[in-house]
């Protein structure tokens, strides 16, 4: 018999703040975390704004032990803070019988913006002569500069697995330690696969979620070249417009979301509060084009169907859908099509919203943060809005909870994450049943 997996703790670092309940209140109020980019001079880019994490200090979460992570990059620091919140929320520190070899880490994690800067500086130096003129890359000059300015920590911290390493050290998690980087679907995939590790008996507790910050020159360059970012520089607070007819791209965000997953009997033995149960997971690939979603949404449809099948549920049993909802022309249209195909008549009845309208797109961390909002919706009986929704699009004709949060009982929620490269991951949660 498969072991049941529940959520017992949560934490996040977001552009709307770092405290679970205060961020949730701001989401329900429809606030935006977008603003001018200050992590670097973005004035020359088509998009000069983003949704940054503000007023963040790791010592606020780890105290004196934050010093042990002085070399950690921005994404690792976010993950450590979110994990500290989730660990406390799950009351794991008070459980003396916790077996560290049965505690694992599974993240969907990508880089932090400072990781690339020393490499870029060394590369530029290697491509200029003594007169400052650009020349083909000269490995001798590269070596001279790189060996002077780069450190072993620079090399280590640019690897995506390092956030999981920092977490394992801080929380003595000696079980499986895995990172996946399937673009915007990464943290949803991490949570789904971490759930399977517990179900199959490889761990009792998994620290699962994601962390990412692509708010750096290379990240913004790439997304601008893909024409994926909104360019509403003068109206950045209302730039993220999922499902709205005037949408012109997503707002790049950053942050981390961490959930504590636990085998249900393990959680009950230690008497902790259970927030929700992970009951379904579906993972597929479009196998189409790297930068485009399949026109008929075949991968998204298959992922949602697989998640519902593994949960043993029908679409009519889903009370809320947390959409991928990026605010790009194609994503929103095809996600709507896929939901209609999977949900049938229930598609017109189920409330759907995208919190990316408020916090931007956290890329690898997006799915985990959005799943936390599903847990909170189940807990509080309220679903967050899709803000900046003013012009209906005939291709997006469902109930997107426009502009105002909505009170309603939520027993089960479905959360979608779709990534560049064609990766699709869907999770299903429900209120805990005995």
Q: What is the mean pLDDT of residues 33-51?
A: 96
pLDDT at res. 1 = 65
E strand residue ranges, 29-152: 35-36, 49-50, 103-109
pLDDT at res. 293 = 85
268 to 8, 9, 277: CA distances (angstroms):
10, 14, 13
pLDDT at res. 176 = 98
pLDDT band at 15; cut points 50, 70, 90: very high
Q: What is the mean pLDDT of the chain?
A: 93
Judged against a pLDDT cut of 80, whether residue 225 lies above it is answered with yes
| Marked catalytic residue, from 18, 166, 294, 324 | 324
pLDDT at res. 137 = 64
| Marked catalytic residue, from 18, 216, 266, 361 | 361
- What residues contact 308, with CB distance under 8 A and at least 6 apart? 280, 282, 314, 315, 318, 342, 414, 428
Q: Is 324 a catalytic residue?
A: yes
* Domain 5-114+158-430 part of CATH 3.40.50.970: no
DSSP state letter for 237 = G
Domain map (residue ranges) of the chain: 5-114+158-430, 117-157
Q: Is 184 a catalytic residue?
A: yes
DSSP state letter for 334 = H
Q: Is 361 a catalytic residue?
A: yes
| Marked catalytic residue, from 184, 236, 374, 396 | 184
pLDDT band at 158; cut points 50, 70, 90: confident
- Per residue in 279-336, pLDDT (tens digit) is 999 999 999 887 788 888 999 999 999 999 999 999 999 999 999 999 999 999 999 9
Q: Which of 106-110, 156-160, 222-226 has the lowest mean pLDDT?
A: 156-160
Half-sphere exposure of 298 (CA within 13 A, CB side): 8
Judged against a pLDDT cut of 90, whether residue 157 lies above it is answered with no
- Per residue in 362-392, pLDDT (tens digit) is 999 999 999 999 999 999 999 999 999 999 9
pLDDT band at 133; cut points 50, 70, 90: confident
Tokens of 22: 């205060």
Nearest Cα neighbor of 163 from 255, 26, 64 is 255
Q: Specify the pTM.
A: 0.94
């Amino acid at each position: 018999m498969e072991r049941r997996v529940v959520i017992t703790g949560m934490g996040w670092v977001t552009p709307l703040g770092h405290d679970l309940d205060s961020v949730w209140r701001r989401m329900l109020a429809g606030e935006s975390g977008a603003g001018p980019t200050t992590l670097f001079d973005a004035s020359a880019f088509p998009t000069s704004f983003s949704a940054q994490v503000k007023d963040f200090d790791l010592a606020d979460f780890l105290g004196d032990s934050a010093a042990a992570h002085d070399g950690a990059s921005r994404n690792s620091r976010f993950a450590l803070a979110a994990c500290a919140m989730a660990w406390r929320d799950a009351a794991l520190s008070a459980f003396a019988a916790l077996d560290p070899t049965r505690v694992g880490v599974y993240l969907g994690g990508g880089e932090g913006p400072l990781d690339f800067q020393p490499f870029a500086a060394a590369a530029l130096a290697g491509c200029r002569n003594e007169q400052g003129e650009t020349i083909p890359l000269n490995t001798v000059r590269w070596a001279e500069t790189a060996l002077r300015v780069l450190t072993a920590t620079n090399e280590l911290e640019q690897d995506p697995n390092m956030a999981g390493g920092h977490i394992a050290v801080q929380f003595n998690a000696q079980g499986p330690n895995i990172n996946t980087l399937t673009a915007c679907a990464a943290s949803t995939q991490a949570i789904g696969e971490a759930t399977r590790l517990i179900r199959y008996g490889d761990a009792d507790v998994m620290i699962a979620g994601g962390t990412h910050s692509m708010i750096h020159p290379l990240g913004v360059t790439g997304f601008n070249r893909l024409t994926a970012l909104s360019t509403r520089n003068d109206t950045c607070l209302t730039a993220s417009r999922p499902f709205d007819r005037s949408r012109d791209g997503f707002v790049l965000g950053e942050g981390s979301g961490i959930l504590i997953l636990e085998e249900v009997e393990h959680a009950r033995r230690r008497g902790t509060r259970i927030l929700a149960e992970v009951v379904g997971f579906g993972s597929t690939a479009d196998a189409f084009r790297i930068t485009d979603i399949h026109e008929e949404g075949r991968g998204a449809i298959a992922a949602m169907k697989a998640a519902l099948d593994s949960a043993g549920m029908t679409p009519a049993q889903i009370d809320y859908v947390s959409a991928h909802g990026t605010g790009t022309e194609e994503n929103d249209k095809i996600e709507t099509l896929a939901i209609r195909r999977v949900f049938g008549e229930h598609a017109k009845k189920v409330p759907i919203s995208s919190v990316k309208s408020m916090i931007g797109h956290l890329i690898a961390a997006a799915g985990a943060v959005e799943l936390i909002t599903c847990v909170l919706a189940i807990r509080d009986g309220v679903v967050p809005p899709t803000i900046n929704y003013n012009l209906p699009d005939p291709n997006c004709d469902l109930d997107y909870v426009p502009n105002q949060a909505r009170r309603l009982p939520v027993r089960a929620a479905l959360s979608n994450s779709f990534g560049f490269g064609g990766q699709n991951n869907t999770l299903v949660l429900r209120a805990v049943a005995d």
